[in-house]
Structure 1
Amino acid sequence: MKRKLLNSMLVALMAFASCESIAGFEEGKAAFMARDFTTALKEFKPLADKGDKQSQHIMGMMYDEGQGVKQDYAAAAEWYKKAASQGNQDSQYNLGVMYAQAQGVKQDDVESFKWFEKAAKQGHILSQFALGRLYTVGRGTKPDGKLACDWYRKAAEQNHYKAQLALGKNYLDGNGIKKDVVLAESWIRKSAEQGHHKAEYELGMLYRDGIAVKKDAKEAYMWFELAGKQNHEGAKLAADTLAKTMKAEDIAAAKLAASNWHAKLPADAKPVAH
């Protein structure tokens, strides 16, 4: 359903720099960065036992990933609960995922929704997007298109590329929000410009059909080409179909434009297709 905040321990440790005044935290961080997980565990566990929420979150992640300890999802969930109950939004998000996926805890959509909501209200971007999805499908809560759009917007405004696409498509179709093709194009473009293959395809369709933009076969082909390179089958088919109506030189120009566009994207703005 959703990915937990894993493989990001270094990021977490750097984010918790404010904890450096707590004896043992800096030692734990140094040990972890040196991949000495056993020592890191010895430093973080006493802090976690004393109630330090950051250390509790890190303990949860170490059990989640099996770093310095045998992987144990139930133990991870317990540590996340301790940190989440103190307001740690990353632990709240991870708990939401675990309840959704029955990982270390019994599957519970209502409990999953509760933890996502707590984190989302603190501005946690992944939780905001998760709430949008849950309100869309009615999982753990009643379906509510308006609230789905509200949460998608919060995440989209924080540059979450999937939320930008979701909000754009809702504007395009008038789902949960007044139909507005101009705003639809704007949000879909924001997502596509981050390299999201599904948004690239949708933007290509807008150019192909002349919705909110001037009809432009070359521009449409460029976006289809970009999405197709990320194995979007619909985009590949759309490009092949469109090519039958285009001049060879226009196709070549569109392919070159796609290549140049992709090269300009920073590495972290090229999402893996999933």
Structure 2
Amino acid sequence: MKRLPAPTDMVDPQRFGGGKGNGSEPDLDRFGGAKTDPAYGAFQRGLYMTAYNLALPRATAGDAAAQTLVAEILSRGLGVPRNDKEAAKWYALAAEQGIPEAQFQYALMLLDGDFVKKDAQAAYALMQSAAEAGNRLAQFNFAQMLVGRESEGKGMDDAVVYYQRAADAGLADAQYAMSQIFANGVGGKKHDDVEARRWLLRAAIQGYDTAQLDLGTWLMDGRGGDRDRKAGFNWMRIAALDGNVAAQNRLAKFYMQGLGTDPDSISAAAWYMLARRAGLKDAAMDDFLDGLTDEEMKTALQRANRLR
């Protein structure tokens, strides 16, 4: 089975109301407070120092939503100096009061052990609580924790429930995980390439480059549905442009063989040069480069430099 995506502590754009560039406003529900609150209003408008000053007295008085907001501002250095240790204190207080976002963030801190004492058992309990409350990043990470405890059998069976919830909620990491689950027939799911390809498409649309690479390959091979070499080429190119080194090498081969596009030895060489600079070695592509003329190599190098 392919390795599932690693646990993530990334700032997920969809936590704030959608994917890249959609212009939607921040989703403040995750803090557990009212959207009409002045502190949240200031945060939403990007007035982070004002939001911090408004939230801090209420956080000190025990308001869990304000504690989460203060922790968020401190952990990301929004309008104030970044202070992860202080953020951990506020996340811990809000987590004790059952705010799922705070439970998730504090669980990550407990796992890392950089700003608080490492405590895997407490992190597990908090991550589970946040996952059960519907936090999709917690659902994904809790699934990863379950797999880490037992990669086969019951561990994977239990994890699939949480992968599925996070995937249904739109998390690309989880959507890719579901594609691998169906592609390999694990976690109580039957092998189903059609369903796996559906999940690959969902993750690819969201910009998940590994899903784009896999989808390009599947479309080229006709796995999980009709063969569509043009679409396969296009998805591979998107992943390559996003910097996926394996996709850059695969795209070079598509150009070399004329798969989904017209044969183009210069583009093939340029994309492989780019991948090779990143450390990828491919004997077949090295042989291909050896067969080019000096003038072709010069042109390909110029094109590769423009692709950076």
The correspondence for 1:100, drawn from 96, 105, 111, is 111
The yes-or-no answer on 1:155 pairing with 2:166 is: yes
Kept in 1, the 8 Å contact 2:26–2:44? The answer is no
For 1:18, the equivalent position in structure 2 comes to: 34
The yes-or-no answer on 1:113 pairing with 2:107 is: no
Kept in 2, the 8 Å contact 1:165–1:187? The answer is yes
For 2:238, the equivalent position in structure 1 comes to: 226
Kept in 2, the 8 Å contact 1:129–1:155? The answer is yes
Which stretches in structure 1 are left out of the alignment for 5+ residues?
256-274
Q: Aligned Cα RMSD in Å?
A: 3.2
Cα 1:247/1:67, change in 2 over 3 Å: closer
Deviations 1:175-220 (A, max 9, x none): 2232111111111111112221111111112122221122333232
For 2:195, the equivalent position in structure 1 comes to: 183
Give the whole-Å Cα distance in 2 for the aligned partners of 1:153 and 1:78: 32
Kept in 2, the 8 Å contact 1:134–1:143? The answer is no
Deviation at 1:157, TM superposition (A): 0.4
Identity rate of aligned residues, in percent? 24
Give the whole-Å Cα distance in 2 for the aligned partners of 1:251 and 1:96: 51
Cα 1:28/1:200, change in 2 over 3 Å: closer
Deviations 1:98-150 (A, max 9, x none): 112113211222222221111110110111111122222328xx971112221
Deviation at 1:70, TM superposition (A): 5.2
- Show the 5 A alignment for 1:18-57: 18=34, 20=36, 25-26=37-38, 29-30=41-42, 33=45, 35=47, 37=49, 40-57=51-68
Deviation at 1:79, TM superposition (A): 1.2
For 1:65, the equivalent position in structure 2 comes to: 76
Which has more radius of gyration? 2
Cα 1:158/1:68, change in 2 over 3 Å: closer
For 1:210, the equivalent position in structure 2 comes to: 222
Kept in 2, the 8 Å contact 1:5–1:94? The answer is no
For 1:264, the equivalent position in structure 2 comes to: none
Give the whole-Å Cα distance in 2 for the aligned partners of 1:32 and 1:159: 22
For 2:156, the equivalent position in structure 1 comes to: 145
Kept in 1, the 8 Å contact 2:220–2:228? The answer is yes
Q: Aligned to 2:62, what secondary structure does the other structure show?
A: coil
Cα 1:36/1:164, change in 2 over 3 Å: closer
For 2:277, the equivalent position in structure 1 comes to: none
Q: Aligned to 2:182, what secondary structure does the other structure show?
A: helix
Deviations 1:7-65 (A, max 9, x none): 98983658766264xxxx5267548957472x544432321232211111122223323
TM-score (structure 1 length as normaliser): 0.76
The yes-or-no answer on 1:3 pairing with 2:3 is: no
Kept in 1, the 8 Å contact 2:203–2:211? The answer is yes
Give the whole-Å Cα distance in 2 for the aligned partners of 1:154 and 1:36: 32
For 2:258, the equivalent position in structure 1 comes to: 246
Cα 1:237/1:95, change in 2 over 3 Å: same
- Show the 5 A alignment for 1:65-84: 65-66=76-77, 71-84=82-95
Q: Which amino acid aligns with 1:93?
A: F
Give the whole-Å Cα distance in 2 for the aligned partners of 1:98 and 1:199: 28
The yes-or-no answer on 1:124 pairing with 2:135 is: yes
Q: Which amino acid aligns with 1:196?
A: Y
Q: Which amino acid aligns with 2:73?
A: M
Deviation at 1:172, TM superposition (A): 0.3
Give the whole-Å Cα distance in 2 for the aligned partners of 1:82 and 1:5: 21
Q: Which amino acid aligns with 2:179?
A: G
Q: Which amino acid aligns with 1:225?
A: R
Give the whole-Å Cα distance in 2 for the aligned partners of 1:4 and 1:244: 37
TM-score (structure 2 length as normaliser): 0.69
Q: Which amino acid aligns with 1:18?
A: A
